[in-house]
Structure 1
Amino acid sequence: MRYELMLPHQIRQAIAENWPVALPLGVLEYHGEHMAVGMDTLAVIKTLDLIEKEMPLVILPPFYYGAASYAVEKPEGNGSVQVGGKALAAFGEDFFYSLLRIGFRNIHAIIHHQTENFAAGMPTDLAFKTGGRQAIFRFLEKEHGEGWWGNEASANYYADHAAGANPFNWVQVHSLMGPEMFGKFPFDHAGEGETSLMLALCPEAVDMAKVGDNKGWYTETAKAASVEVGARGVEMILARLRTLLKG
């Protein structure tokens, strides 16, 4: 369900049944002359639209304003929007804290941008990971007071973790494409892989007639893109989301 369309009784049901709550997290970034600047975020939005048909799911309004960086092209006339990590972390903390106050405990931000370095982290995902951790600490102190971990009520903390009751799992950040896809699907920027995903998920975001106008090395493989390749990638992503969103 789209969060902005939910009525209070539906929100309470989602809380009671611990539905996963998904934030499509991304950027607006230059993706060659042939593809829309919202590609990274659109890939998340469109795959969540598909997985929503399979399971109870709350989909939050997408956040497009991450740290695109100007590594690919200068922004002038090309469209990349850059918001720094410090601002994003502050936003992320308040945002996740608000969701915890509402009652959600199964929150997932899904990102595609710059995730080839996801284990080490890049500015957008690191900012939201930090914001999520800070929000959880802040919420626990609000609910239980300072010293919450050290008091007797937390004596079973590690046993609870072993049983799966870990409050630091309430907010998680995931890459759309995991390492299990590397080598099985083209991972690139505006090349065959990403262009194929958009052809399969959001064809209005691609104009293959413009591929010849590209100058960047990173777009050289885009001419090989196809709906068939994209559909194969979509199935891999959906398999990943089915696992991640179980909670």
Structure 2
Amino acid sequence: MQMVDMFYEELEDAKKRKVPFVIPIGTIEYHGYHASCGTDTMVITGVMRELEKTKEMVVCPPIWYGVASYAVAGPESGTIQVDVDAYENYIYCILKSLIYGGVKNIYCVAHHQTEEAGLMPMTLACHKAAKKLIMEYMEDTRGKGWWGSNDYADYYENLGTGDDPFSYIKVIPLLSAEAQHKCGGFDHAGKFESSLMYALYPEHVDLERTKRNTQWFAKNSVETSMELGQHMVQCALETLQDIIK
């Protein structure tokens, strides 16, 4: 279900049943001559489109602008960079509305600088926003000393479950480290990411333009293939089926 298409009663029902709410966490960034600047965001929305066919979930509007950085190219390339502190506060505000609105099963799914599922500025900002919010929410709703009260004597028994408040919001990569290994690799605007995008949104990858790339990270985009892209989509889906619950 797309959140923007849902009516109030449908949203309330999803909250009560703890249906997963998924937020695509993307960027606008230069992806060589051959792939659209929305690649990081679109590969998430594309995989979620496929995951929706087999799993009940609410897909929230994507966060298009992010902490892209100018590591790949400057602003003249079309990359849009948001300062990490401003971004963290923005994510915090979105998550706060959801949590206080009764959503207790949120997944922030990222695909930018997530090699080996490592933590980088954008994903760290999401983690910090989530933990800060949950601490404030629990103190606000349960009072100071909530964790130390006897009401939470079963805290460790519930660790990692839906009853654990620190599991209300999870920040995960679109492709886990395990999925990346199954795919055979991971890159930026190279054959892997380009193939993933090609399988999901073929009109946003121009195979002819791959020949124009001279930068090291995009040179092997000439090896972009539908077969590899479909394999990567399947690897992502298999992992996300288990992670998103």
Q: Fold conserved (TM > 0.5)?
A: yes
Cα contact 2:117–2:177 (8 A) shared by 1: no
Unmatched runs of 5 consecutive residues or more in structure 1: none
Helix, strand or coil for the counterpart of 1:24?
Answer: strand
- List aligned pairs for 1:97-246, cutoff 5 A: 97-116=96-115, 118-119=117-118, 121-161=119-159, 165-185=163-183, 186-246=185-245
Q: In structure 1, how many angstroms separate the alpha carbons of the residues matched to 2:236 and 2:117?
A: 16
Measured after TM superposition, the shift of residue 80 of structure 1 is 0.2
Quick one: percent identity of the two aligned structures?
36
Q: Which amino acid aligns with 1:220?
A: K
Measured after TM superposition, the shift of residue 164 of structure 1 is 6.0
Taking a change above 3 Å as real, the CA distance of residues 162 and 227 of structure 1, as seen in their structure-2 partners, is: closer
Taking a change above 3 Å as real, the CA distance of residues 240 and 183 of structure 1, as seen in their structure-2 partners, is: closer
Moved more, 178-187 or 210-219: 178-187
Q: Which amino acid aligns with 2:58?
A: V
Q: In structure 1, how many angstroms separate the alpha carbons of the residues matched to 2:160 and 2:188?
A: 39
Q: Which amino acid aligns with 1:75?
A: P
Helix, strand or coil for the counterpart of 1:184?
Answer: helix
Unmatched runs of 5 consecutive residues or more in structure 2: none
Helix, strand or coil for the counterpart of 1:108?
Answer: strand
Which runs of 4 or more aligned residues in structure 1 lie more than 3 Å from their structure 2 counterparts after TM superposition? Answer: none
Taking a change above 3 Å as real, the CA distance of residues 136 and 35 of structure 1, as seen in their structure-2 partners, is: same
Q: In structure 2, how many angstroms separate the alpha carbons of the residues matched to 1:66 and 1:240?
A: 24
Q: In structure 1, how many angstroms separate the alpha carbons of the residues matched to 2:212 and 2:161?
A: 55
Moved more, 180-189 or 206-215: 180-189
Q: In structure 1, how many angstroms separate the alpha carbons of the residues matched to 2:53 and 2:82?
A: 33
Moved more, 235-244 or 90-99: 90-99
Cα contact 2:45–2:62 (8 A) shared by 1: yes
1:206-230 deviation per Cα after TM superposition (whole angstroms, max 9, x unaligned): 1111112212111111111111110
Helix, strand or coil for the counterpart of 1:234?
Answer: helix
Helix, strand or coil for the counterpart of 2:136?
Answer: helix
Q: In structure 1, how many angstroms separate the alpha carbons of the residues matched to 2:178 and 2:187?
A: 15
Measured after TM superposition, the shift of residue 147 of structure 1 is 1.6
TM-score by length of 2: 0.95
Measured after TM superposition, the shift of residue 162 of structure 1 is 7.5
Coordinate RMSD, CA, aligned: 1.4
1:167-207 deviation per Cα after TM superposition (whole angstroms, max 9, x unaligned): 10000000111111334323111111011111110011111
Moved more, 42-51 or 153-162: 153-162
Q: In structure 1, how many angstroms separate the alpha carbons of the residues matched to 2:124 and 2:53?
A: 30
Q: In structure 2, how many angstroms separate the alpha carbons of the residues matched to 1:71 and 1:166?
A: 37
Q: In structure 2, how many angstroms separate the alpha carbons of the residues matched to 1:237 and 1:152?
A: 41
Measured after TM superposition, the shift of residue 90 of structure 1 is 1.1
Measured after TM superposition, the shift of residue 106 of structure 1 is 0.8
Helix, strand or coil for the counterpart of 1:127?
Answer: helix
TM-score by length of 1: 0.94
Taking a change above 3 Å as real, the CA distance of residues 6 and 217 of structure 1, as seen in their structure-2 partners, is: same
Cα contact 1:84–1:123 (8 A) shared by 2: no
Moved more, 172-181 or 150-159: 150-159
Helix, strand or coil for the counterpart of 1:189?
Answer: coil
Instruction: Say whether 1:42 aligns with 2:5.
Output: no
Cα contact 2:3–2:60 (8 A) shared by 1: yes
Cα contact 2:116–2:176 (8 A) shared by 1: no
State the partner residue of 1:2: 2
Q: In structure 2, how many angstroms separate the alpha carbons of the residues matched to 1:199 and 1:127?
A: 29
Helix, strand or coil for the counterpart of 1:69?
Answer: coil
Moved more, 93-102 or 106-115: 93-102
Cα contact 1:23–1:109 (8 A) shared by 2: yes
Moved more, 6-15 or 150-159: 150-159
